[in-house]
Structure 1
Amino acid sequence: MDYDKFIFCLEAVPDIETETTTEVFKSLEKLALQTGIDSIYKTCDTIEGLEESLNVLLYEDHNFKNYEIIYLIMPGEGNTICLNNYYYSLEEIAEIFEGRMKGKILHFANAKPLDLSEEEAQYFLDITGAKAVSGYGITSRKATSSQLDNVFFSLCQDEDDVVEIVEALHEKYYAACKVLDFRLYY
Structure 2
Amino acid sequence: MDSDTFIFCLEAVPDAETVNTTEVVKNLEQLAFDQGITSIYKTCDTIEGLEDSLNALLYEDHNFKNYEIIYLVIQGEGNNICLNEYYYSLEEIAELFEGKMKGKILHFANAKVLDLSEEEAQYFLDITGARAISGYGAAFNKLTSSNLDKAFFSLFEEQDNVVEIVEELHQKYYALCKLLDFRLYY
Q: Bin the TM-score by the shorter chain.
A: over 0.9
How far, CA to CA, are the matches of 1:2 and 1:113 in structure 2?
Answer: 30
The aligned counterpart of 1:137 is 137
Greater alpha carbon shift after TM alignment, 151-160 vs 106-115: 151-160
Q: Deviations over 1:24-82 (max 9, x none)?
A: 01000000000000000000000000000011101110100000000000001221100
How far, CA to CA, are the matches of 1:48 and 1:141 in structure 2?
Answer: 29
The aligned counterpart of 2:183 is 183
Deviation at 1:2, TM superposition (A): 5.7
Q: Deviations over 1:142-163 (max 9, x none)?
A: 1110110011011123211111
Cα RMSD, aligned residues only: 1.1
Deviation at 1:141, TM superposition (A): 4.2
Return the TM-score normalized by structure 2.
0.97
Answering whether residue 77 of structure 2 is matched by residue 77 of structure 1, we say yes
**Conserved 8 A contact 2:7-2:40:** yes
Unaligned runs of 5+ in 2: none
**Conserved 8 A contact 1:137-1:182:** yes
Q: Deviations over 1:8-32 (max 9, x none)?
A: 0000000011111100010000000
The aligned counterpart of 2:17 is 17
Q: Deviations over 1:128-151 (max 9, x none)?
A: 100000000012141110110011
**Conserved 8 A contact 1:5-1:157:** no
Q: Deviations over 1:94-141 (max 9, x none)?
A: 111211111100000000111111111100100110000000001214
Q: What code does the residue aligned with 1:149 have?
A: D
How far, CA to CA, are the matches of 2:94 and 2:7 in structure 1?
Answer: 19
Greater alpha carbon shift after TM alignment, 101-110 vs 75-84: 75-84
The aligned counterpart of 2:120 is 120
User: Helix, strand or coil for the counterpart of 1:158?
Assistant: coil
Give runs of ≥4 in structure 1 deviating > 6 Å.
none
User: Helix, strand or coil for the counterpart of 1:95?
Assistant: helix
How far, CA to CA, are the matches of 2:58 and 2:2 in structure 1?
Answer: 23
**Conserved 8 A contact 1:2-1:35:** no
The aligned counterpart of 1:161 is 161
**Conserved 8 A contact 1:9-1:41:** yes
How far, CA to CA, are the matches of 1:21 and 1:54 in structure 2?
Answer: 21
% identical equivalent positions: 78
User: Helix, strand or coil for the counterpart of 1:157?
Assistant: coil
Count of matched residue positions in the alignment of Structure 1 and Structure 2 = 186
Return the TM-score normalized by structure 1.
0.97
Unaligned runs of 5+ in 1: none
